[in-house]
Amino acid sequence: MTDWTSRRYAVVDVEGNGQRPPDLVELAVVPITGGVIGEPVTWLIRPQTPITGFARRIHGITGQMVADAPSFPEIEKEVRTALDDATIVAHNAPVDLSVLRRKLPQWEPAEVFDTLRLARRLRPERVSYRLGALVEAFNLAAGLPPELRPHRATYDALVTARLFVLLATGPEGQPLSLNELRGQPSGEGDAPPAALF
């Protein structure tokens, strides 16, 4: 039975400009290789349309902060390199994936794990499954640099990576199998589920 640490993961978080549909202003990717969380890669991105006041109040990214940032086409190759051949992890993954799919034509992840869905299934005793509530419940921000803050892509991707590792580890400290993470019976082989987000 293949356990989850056999895969390479890219934990992603996006911050948008508040428009509809949202455009990227920040993207973070945190690699997990061999079950070990790596260093985040983060890009500030100049959106095509201005950042709304509502979005600015949430993540604190201003138009001035992204005025000299690259546009997405300037960093697209780097982003594809960070994501290619990786299993994607995100909290409330459909939101992040919808933004990335618009920006990356023909990109389709092989498999996605949504830590929101995983937490609901594997930690049914929790009252709230918001990322902030889970961070507090499991002390997932411990030791992070003080300049990192919630609702910025680097912070959110790092705590999501920690949440994923926590959820993917059994009560005795053993790694769950990929099928256990998928919620599949152990006899179904290691093929990913046919339907993704």
The pLDDT value recorded for residue 91 is: 98
- The Cα 50–Cα 28 span in angstroms is 20
Structure tokens at 108: 């389709």
Which tens digits make up the pLDDT trace of 128-183?
A: 999 999 999 999 999 999 999 999 999 999 999 999 999 999 989 999 999 999 99
Domains of the chain: 4-186 (3.30.420.10)
Q: Decide which of 8 and 185 is more confident.
A: 8
The tokens 């009252």 sit on which residue? 127
Which tens digits make up the pLDDT trace of 27-58?
A: 999 999 999 999 999 999 999 999 999 999 99
The pLDDT value recorded for residue 186 is: 63
pLDDT mean over 73-80: 98
The pLDDT value recorded for residue 194 is: 40
Q: C-alpha angle 158/86/14, rounded to 5°?
A: 45
Does residue 87 register a pLDDT over 50? Answer: yes
Does residue 188 register a pLDDT over 80? Answer: no
The pLDDT value recorded for residue 192 is: 55
The pLDDT value recorded for residue 190 is: 53
The pLDDT value recorded for residue 189 is: 55
The pLDDT value recorded for residue 197 is: 41
The pLDDT value recorded for residue 195 is: 40
Mean pLDDT of the chain: 93
